[in-house]
Structure 1
């Protein structure tokens, strides 16, 4: 049986979340989306998030497959939230 890991990633975004770039910070993985979601506030309070040069910072729990598919290119997080 394959295990799907959930990754917590930080993004520096435009105010509307349509132009986001992954912040360079180690990605943490979790066994469940709930475990990841429990760490969102901590991630947003991290030094990387607080010092990001972006209008807003968003933390997202994504499958590792989703995160890998994004690569390092800019993404529209509003579309990703809609396909969960």
Structure 2
């Protein structure tokens, strides 16, 4: 059986103390494993999109969901 689970990188704008974070955008890429997603997070933090987010802290997280969820609202976050 083929799994429909996928991972997407979500960029978040956060407060200084990281207690409040807001999802800003999702990377258009969909990753088959959590490890693939996590290997790409550092690169996404250096992208033009991440650098333009007007929050004290910009963070990423790899979110699991169906492929449809991961692609929803997709934005190209390649450098």
TM-score by length of 2: 0.71
Alpha-carbon contact 2:9-2:27 (below 8 Å) kept: no
Cα distance change, pair 17–27 in 1 and its aligned pair in 2 (3 A): farther
Higher helix share: 1
The CA deviation at 1:62 is: 1.2
Task: Give the aligned CA root-mean-square deviation in angstroms.
Answer: 1.7
Residue 25 to residue 39, structure 1, CA distance change in 2 (3 Å): same
The structure with the greater share of residues assigned to strand is 2
- Structure 2 residue runs of 5 or longer lacking an equivalent are 70-79
Residues 1:40 and 2:41 aligned together: yes
Q: Which runs of 4+ in 1 moved over 3 A?
A: 24-27
Q: What TM-score comes out, normalization by structure 1 length?
A: 0.68
Q: Which residue of the partner structure matches residue 73 of structure 1? A: none
